[in-house]
A and B are shown apart, each in its own frame.
Chain A
Amino acid sequence: MSDLLAARSLMAMSLGFHIIFAMVSMAMPLLMILAEWRWLKTGQDAYLIIAKRWAKGTAIFFAVGAVTGTVLSFQLGLLWPTFMAWAGPIIGLAFSIEGFAFFTESIFLGIYLYGWRKVSPRAHLAAGGVVALSGVVSGLVVVMANGWMNTPRGFTIVDGMPSNIDPIAALLNPSGLLQAPHMILAAFAATGFAVAGIHAFLLLRHPDNPFHQYAFKIALSVGCVSAILQPLSGDLLAKRVAELQPLKLAVFEGQVQTQQGAPFRMGGIWNSEREVFDYVLEIPYALSLMLHLDPYGEVKGFKDFPKENWPPIGIVRTAFQIMVLIGFLMMFLALWAAWLTFGTRDIFQSKTFLRAMVAATPLGFIATEIGWVATEVGRQPWVVVGYVKTAEAVTPMPGLTVPLIFFGALYTFLALIVTWLMFRHVAATPDQFEMIVSAQAS
């Protein structure tokens, strides 16, 4: 394996691993404070137990997210020193802002986890609110920094080096501004669905346990609202990609040749010899209509761009398609949930729905991972689109397969342990009697 490929694989692995933990620690605090707020309002102990259980699980995800985030802050330099020397002055500021958001998140999570009996109920709930808010701010600035790699702004090139640097313009780059809400919604949708899925599974076994009923409702409502908003956010983002990164969009949508009245294509396998997609299902005019609100609007094909700047077509296209498919599946499930709640008013009676939710448990995370594959592999061969190629940014350090294997083993180990801990966590279902006792004890 070449060192460049090893560096890219290691970066992808670190990001792919960290992102799960970042998403859960971004979304869970909202679920926690919703449960705690319900407890303060209704006085029902089950809500308190939910908040406490979720807080403990979140603490594990937050800790692993924090340390793997530390890995990333070092690996940016360890793997891409040239990129960092180039980009640090322009986009580094985002990470300093993120540092402070991370500070408040850590401080108030400490208060939330350990302060149940040390601060007033209101202060405790507020601490949870600060955790939730700073988690979102962290995600926001980090994704905006990533957006800058796609649509770099805030500098001009003089003698091959960036000059006239404006970090604010860089941070407020057009791609980042729409990528950030897309990612935040993804975190809430994925986490909401995953938590709802776990409680749906337990509800099928213990249908009358209020602990699971309440937990399911809270997680489901957060997940559903986000899942319904997510396709809208995706649509806005796709329009911006079409405008600013037409090559990337053409690969996403399988648009080989420039065309007026482009169809929306589903499925398809990239045939690199003949340079066409085989087995494609087309909806006439739909892509032009989606992007330009005009059935005859022009969509650029990627063959209009030099081939050396194409990303790997098959991977990017497939990843994008699966992401969109999952997005629609989740939106459909969310609408089904809304119909059950507001139509029949008894969501727990539908075993089919609960089973569908169990099946949907990992969907949001799969969609997010694969969405990042689409956007990051879709950015290749560039690290800063149009300015720096990934191959130019890599460290001169040889033998990068060694850290790749090392970190691969480390992440596998951590993933296994966290999964096992979550099984223990979930397996310890409280019954109603235990709930009363432990609520009194706390």
Chain B
Amino acid sequence: MIELETALAIVLLVALTFYALMGGADFGAGVWHLLAHGSSRRDQHRLIGEALGPIWEANHVWLILIVTILFTAFPTAYAQISVTLHIPLTLLVIGIVLRGSAYAFRHYDIQDDEIHVRWDQLFALSSLISPVLLGIIMGTITAGNFSLSPDSFYEGYVLYWVQPFPLAVGILALVLFAYLAAVYLILETSDVQLQEIFRKRAIAAAVFSGLLGEIVFFLGKSGAPYLWGGLTNNIWGGLIILGTVGFTLAAVWFLSTRQYWWARTCAILQVTLTIWAWGVAQFPYLIPPYLTIYNTSSPEFTLQLILFVLLLGALLLFPALIYLFRIFKSRSVFGQHQ
């Protein structure tokens, strides 16, 4: 039997992976909305709007689930993150509010007029900013080393997230999300012209994400020593690095030869591997070097109960999610013709 703390850490990683693959891609689609240009600009916008429509609300809930697991199972870590990262967390939720509201104002309005362009712009802009903040927050937690008694406001609430490493993780999150969105969007349309547009963007994003992944890795040597140590002191670290690079190269190959299913599989595997590599290297720290999943965890009975609720919830959630995707994404996800 694995320990309760480890089991919950794994659940957190699973939820984070789903959030990146689904919610993250929705943010990425907003980025492509912002960057859309050329004669098919309106068609690109429509494709993005329609792809998100029935699923974006559900995709967003992964984030809420992560937060609730964190404060139930590892409450002191949640409290520490909330204090030190108050500013970027506040900016992140403002971005999330504006993104979701703007999408709703644009798509659930009863009339159709000029102001919709403004909502689209707000949607796209907040889709650009939120992933960067999310990455910065993840990067800061990874680096850790927070001062236990900060001397100044700057040291207490700013210093740790304005470092090269978290900022690089912020950009990496943005590029990964955009990359996922581009490869998903290719399979969401049967219009060859649109497919070609997103194919080129996906290749660019894939290459960029591969390079950024390496940059983040090397920045981690000084910026996030625990992560660096976790990745370099054993054979797995090396294999993981090779794996992410391998998936990037494979995706570029599949995109070049227009094998979109395989390209998407590689993109998903690259993002999943990146998140899991982070998780395994970070184990057992939540915020190194002081806070681990063991010394911040709730009492055993709480952990047992939340794990039970999560398992029960999963039994409810996954069939419902599959039902949702079967209805609206039967062609792009399940490969069936409607």
Contacts and interface: CB of A to CB of B under 8 A. Distances in A.
Interface of A: 53, 56-57, 59-60, 62-64, 66-71, 73-78, 81-82, 84-90, 92-93, 95-100, 102-104, 106-111, 113-115, 118-119, 163, 165-168, 395-399, 403, 406-407, 410, 414, 417, 421, 424-425, 428
A99 B82 contact: no
Interface string B55-79: 1011011011101110111011011
A81 B83 contact: yes
18 contacts: A60-B104, A63-B104, A66-B57, A66-B60, A68-B97, A70-B64, A81-B79, A81-B80, A95-B72, A102-B61, A106-B61, A109-B57, A113-B54, A167-B302, A403-B90, A410-B98, A421-B105, A421-B109
Given A100-B317, A114-B328, 17 more contacts: A64-B101, A66-B100, A74-B82, A77-B82, A88-B78, A92-B306, A99-B61, A108-B320, A113-B54, A115-B327, A118-B328, A163-B299, A165-B299, A168-B305, A395-B82, A396-B156, A410-B97
Contacts of A107: 58, 320-321, 323-324
B83 A396 contact: yes
B34 interface: no
B79 A165 contact: no
A103 B324 CA distance: 11
Contact size range, B = 35 or more
Contacts of A97: 309, 313
Interface in B175-193: none
A107 B324 CA distance: 6
B229 interface: no
Contacts of A76: 71
A78 B157 CA distance: 12
A93 B305 contact: yes
A83 to B, nearest CB: 9
B334 interface: no
B89 interface: yes
B200 interface: no
Contacts of A417: 101, 105
A77 B104 contact: no
Given A71-B97, A89-B72, A60 B108 contact: yes
A76 B68 CA distance: 11
Nearest to A421: B109
Contacts of B323: 107, 111
A397 B157 CA distance: 8
A103 B55 CA distance: 11
Contact of A114 (B53, B69, B94, B302): B53
Given A70-B93, A88-B71, A110 B306 contact: no
A64 B104 contact: yes
A84 to B, nearest CB: 5
Query: Which of the listed residues B67, B71, B94, B107 has the most CB atoms from chain A within 10 Å of its own CB?
Result: B71
A34 B92 CA distance: 38
Contacts of A57: 108
Q: Which 7 A-B pairs have the closest CB atoms?
A: A92-B72, A88-B75, A77-B82, A63-B104, A89-B298, A100-B313, A81-B79
Contacts of B58: 103, 106-107, 110
Contact of A82 (B79, B107, B110, B298): B79
A110 B86 contact: no
A428 B111 contact: yes
A425 B79 CA distance: 42
Contacts of B107: 59
Interface of B: 53-55, 57-58, 60-61, 63-65, 67-69, 71-73, 75-76, 78-83, 86, 89-90, 92-94, 96-101, 103-105, 107-111, 153, 156-157, 298-299, 301-302, 305-306, 309-310, 313, 316-317, 320-321, 323-324, 327-328
B246 to A, nearest CB: 34
B93 A74 contact: yes
A108 B310 CA distance: 20
A96 B306 contact: yes
A98 B68 contact: yes
Given A73-B64, A98-B68, A62 B57 contact: yes
B82 A78 contact: yes
Main secondary structure of the interface of B (DSSP, over half): helix
A107 B327 CA distance: 11
Contact of A111 (B54, B76, B89, B306): B54
B97 A70 contact: yes
Contacts of B310: 96
Contact of B111 (A109, A115, A167, A424): A424
Contacts of A69: 64
Contacts of B81: 77
A90 B306 CA distance: 11
A53 B110 CA distance: 8
A93 B69 CA distance: 8
Given A88-B298, A89-B298, A96-B309, A70 B96 contact: yes
A99 B64 contact: yes
Given A60-B105, A406-B94, A85 B68 contact: no
A92 B321 CA distance: 24
A78 B65 CA distance: 17
Nearest to B72: A92
Contact of B55 (A88, A110, A395, A428): A110
A136 to B, nearest CB: 16
A98 B110 CA distance: 30
Contact of A96 (B65, B90, B103, B327): B65
A428 B60 contact: no
B90 A77 contact: no
B78 A77 contact: yes
Nearest to A114: B54
Contacts of B111: 424, 428
A82 to B, nearest CB: 7
A96 B103 CA distance: 26
B90 A78 contact: yes
Contact of A74 (B89, B99, B101, B321): B89
Given A103-B65, A114-B328, A396-B83, A93 B104 contact: no
Contacts of B73: 92
B79 A84 contact: yes
Contacts of B100: 63-64, 66-67
Contacts of A56: 108-110
B330 to A, nearest CB: 9
B141 to A, nearest CB: 13
